[in-house]
């Protein structure tokens, strides 16, 4: 049976993130063998970050792109049922969450 995949990330940004993840994992950029699983992990990490309170604006920042790649690398070889984001992932995620908070006096 065919499955429908709904991407919640703007399509224009996926190739850039996919290439960044491949570089982070030492996968040749020309290889497409892992594109589907990398895309799933990219979407999972992005969803985790959004659920933690990172704004859409911050999710497209340079720092967020690096944190997404780091998160994908962290969960690349996990076993079913495991969660193991690195301490540095959580530290940078916290910075993105704090940066996403409404600024005092901004009326938000």
Q: How far is CA 57 from CA 52, 77, 100, 102, 103, in A?
A: 14, 29, 8, 12, 14
For residues 83 and 68, what is the distance between their CA atoms, to the nearest angstrom? 15
For residues 21 and 46, what is the distance between their CA atoms, to the nearest angstrom? 13
Domain boundaries, the chain: 12-100
Give the pLDDT score at 2. Answer: 56
Give the pLDDT score at 91. Answer: 96
What is the value of pTM for the model shown?
A: 0.79
Over the stretch 38-97, which tens digit does the pLDDT of each residue have?
999 999 999 999 999 999 999 988 899 999 999 999 999 888 888 789 999 999 999 999
The answer to whether 96 and 63 have CB atoms below 8 angstroms apart is: yes
Quick one: average pLDDT of 26-42? Answer: 92
H helices present in 7-86, as ranges: 14-24, 35-51, 56-59, 62-75
Length of the chain: 108
**pLDDT tops 60 at residue 4:** no
């Amino acid at each position: 049976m065919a499955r429908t995949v709904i991407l919640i990330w703007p399509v224009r940004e996926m190739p850039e993130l996919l290439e960044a993840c491949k570089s982070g994992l030492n996968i040749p950029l020309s290889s497409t063998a892992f594109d589907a699983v990398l895309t799933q992990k990219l979407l999972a990490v992005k969803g985790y970050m959004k659920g933690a309170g990172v704004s859409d604006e911050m999710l497209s920042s340079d720092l967020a792109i690096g944190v997404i790649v780091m998160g994908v690398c962290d969960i690349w070889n996990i076993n079913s049922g495991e969660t193991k984001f690195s301490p540095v992932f959580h530290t940078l995620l916290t910075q993105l969450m704090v940066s996403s908070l409404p600024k005092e006096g901004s009326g938000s």
